[in-house]
Structure 1
């Protein structure tokens, strides 16, 4: 028996409690199975197994065949679907912020068709434009699981798979498992999770072996137009602690609340973080902070340790398929090397995820080498 068949058999047994995917095989599918998509031109064999996916609300959607038209509204979902599918052919529409990441990153280079996909199907706050979504005749709509976001779509007769974002790696694993199931490629979920678990174990082992204490790292989800940082129960807090560093927003003087939390400059000055990360949800760059007198007394500015987070197939700051690369990058930021192996790691991971070998110029773009070049130790990532 080949490894791919073993992967598939393993994948068919996956059931993640609380809302991942269950794969149920049976002739013709159970009663109430969804009819074949009118958008599909592939012949349907009556012996084909049905696909059942239990989302993170605990609700099950059943498909008579692999889906061919998927609308994604949560921002990480579009690129995640492309990575699982290794194609943009089955992505029917996406959130505008997902599309912007494809345009500004390298996803649009790897999959040029993705830039032609509709991206006006939801408001900034994820409220769907139901008529626009219906007009696309999707097999399934991926949406955050909040009732007010899901109900308008379901009332319109659309099949919805709901996602939660509780700031855990288990969320990423669940999303990948669901997407792989719907696409009829359950073995991809097994492969991606195995690779991610391997990288997680490596990072955890590295952190445990260090004798030096990691720096305090503050992640800005928004910098221009109002400050927001990652607080408790955020994925950013998870990986800051994963690599052996500390997050002042969840330390001795924590911010109340969870997720991305607004704050003022005075609180940042009080924390005096040693490293500042600028996310990819606005255009702030290290030079903006270095040139602003307000920030001159912050340790991260004095030591030139302000960094723009990489932007690959998707933004590295939120959870996604490239999160293991974020862990490696951040570990090298916190504990710099003379020469980081990250470029080679990114190339290998992109080949695995996208069947794409990035060029030297693409690697520079992903890592923001020009914008981060004036920051301490960033030359470790140069070609």
Structure 2
């Protein structure tokens, strides 16, 4: 029996012993997932969020407001529905509208989505009006305090650019929904995919390509610097990130830069994120970019958009790892379409059509980019 099977059995035993509720502990500031321990009859659902604060519920939550952008779709994947979402960030809503989650769960598109500004400052009165059992928010004190001062219960999340943070989010969401076994299921699968990607990277000889990820492009350049999830997966697949290399960008997170800096780096691959409308053709048509290696060799790609944007961390991140591995080290025929179909059955109980897969992978928008035909239907 695998360790994942043991974890799942332990979680289920704890649920049974707790009379329908489970006591969870250990999801602390380190970002590690909570470990289940049997509780007495009628035990509370209890865990520590990533601020180190203990969160308790006397029953599974029914109404959740999510402010961090990945949180809404992640909660849907954990829950298997959008029924417990009461309100979401506008950027989460646009991802559902423009991606496939709104097709799978159309009720999600009816959710209130003006609960916070673009920089996650909460609209406290709007949130209170939704009468949530809990609000999910980034753990910065200035973002959490207004909600707590209004008498709202808040779970604080952190994103240090590690898969462990995603695991912790899933564990907390599963716990508060009364579905701790779901966290074990999702972690077991992502661990399997992580091991597969790591094995593939270790089997390759020689350095991989330099890969630059743009979080913003159309209205001013921002690239993934240190302590970003994008830097993590670029290196995971065997690539290098010039923004964290010998001539790194200062600071952490998404950092602004100019074209001259990109020309100095001369990246071999450029990734365009899903936070604006930039497409590969925009770079191919612009003479400013024509001397960049990635543009000359037509290795500019729009990152897929599925149940959520694949560029930030989330429930579909393992699919991003496989997609990026095939971008960095092209194959004659990628296995990503099959991976997406498998994952969507597990995450959403949904079987994507060929048209769905083309939309998710931006096959038309990436059609002019090198080796992208590997992602077409066989």
Which of the residues 21, 26, 43 maps onto 1:15? 26
After superposition, what is the alpha-carbon deviation per residue over 1:246-301, rounded to whole angstroms, capped at 9, x for unaligned?
00111111111111000000000110000000000000000100000000011000
The RMSD of aligned alpha carbons is 1.6
In 1, distance between residues paired with 2:137 and 2:28?
19
Relative to structure 1, the CA distance from residue 155 to residue 24 in structure 2 (aligned partners, 3 Å threshold; closer, same or farther) is farther
After superposition, what is the alpha-carbon deviation per residue over 1:139-186, rounded to whole angstroms, capped at 9, x for unaligned?
000000011110111111110000011111111000000000000000
1:382 is the counterpart of 2:376? yes
Which of the residues 233, 244, 250 maps onto 1:250? 244
In 2, distance between residues paired with 1:22 and 1:341?
34
In the alignment, what sits opposite 1:191? 185
**1:10, distance to aligned residue in structure 2 (A):** 7.3
In 2, distance between residues paired with 1:17 and 1:265?
40
Q: Work out whether residues 167 and 234 of structure 1, in 8 Å CA contact, stay in contact via their aligned partners in 2.
A: yes
1:60 is the counterpart of 2:71? no
After superposition, what is the alpha-carbon deviation per residue over 1:37-77, rounded to whole angstroms, capped at 9, x for unaligned?
xxxxxxxxxx5431012100000111000001000000000
Which of the residues 44, 58, 64 maps onto 1:50? 44
> Within 5 Å, which residues of 2 pair with 1:76-115?
76-115=70-109
Q: Work out whether residues 25 and 51 of structure 1, in 8 Å CA contact, stay in contact via their aligned partners in 2.
A: no
1:121 is the counterpart of 2:115? yes
Which of the residues 304, 309, 316 maps onto 1:322? 316
**1:9, distance to aligned residue in structure 2 (A):** 3.4
In 1, distance between residues paired with 2:246 and 2:341?
39
Which of the residues 237, 249, 272 maps onto 1:278? 272
In 2, distance between residues paired with 1:154 and 1:177?
22
SS state at 2:364 partner: helix
After superposition, what is the alpha-carbon deviation per residue over 1:206-240, rounded to whole angstroms, capped at 9, x for unaligned?
10010132100000000011000000111100000
Aligned residues: 363
Which of the residues 282, 288, 293 maps onto 1:294? 288
Which of the residues 307, 311, 314 maps onto 1:313? 307
In the alignment, what sits opposite 1:230? 224
**1:5, distance to aligned residue in structure 2 (A):** 4.8
In 1, distance between residues paired with 2:48 and 2:36?
9
Q: Work out whether residues 24 and 51 of structure 1, in 8 Å CA contact, stay in contact via their aligned partners in 2.
A: no
Which of the residues 170, 179, 186 maps onto 1:176? 170
SS state at 2:306 partner: coil
SS state at 1:371 partner: coil
Relative to structure 1, the CA distance from residue 60 to residue 14 in structure 2 (aligned partners, 3 Å threshold; closer, same or farther) is closer
Unaligned runs of 5+ in 1: 28-46
Q: Work out whether residues 224 and 282 of structure 1, in 8 Å CA contact, stay in contact via their aligned partners in 2.
A: yes
In 2, distance between residues paired with 1:54 and 1:17?
5
- TM, length-normalised to structure 2: 0.93
Unaligned runs of 5+ in 2: 16-21
1:164 is the counterpart of 2:158? yes
In 2, distance between residues paired with 1:52 and 1:144?
19
In 2, distance between residues paired with 1:306 and 1:187?
40
Q: Work out whether residues 47 and 55 of structure 2, in 8 Å CA contact, stay in contact via their aligned partners in 1.
A: yes
Q: Work out whether residues 56 and 145 of structure 1, in 8 Å CA contact, stay in contact via their aligned partners in 2.
A: yes
**1:7, distance to aligned residue in structure 2 (A):** 4.6
SS state at 2:294 partner: helix
Q: Work out whether residues 99 and 115 of structure 1, in 8 Å CA contact, stay in contact via their aligned partners in 2.
A: yes
In the alignment, what sits opposite 1:218? 212
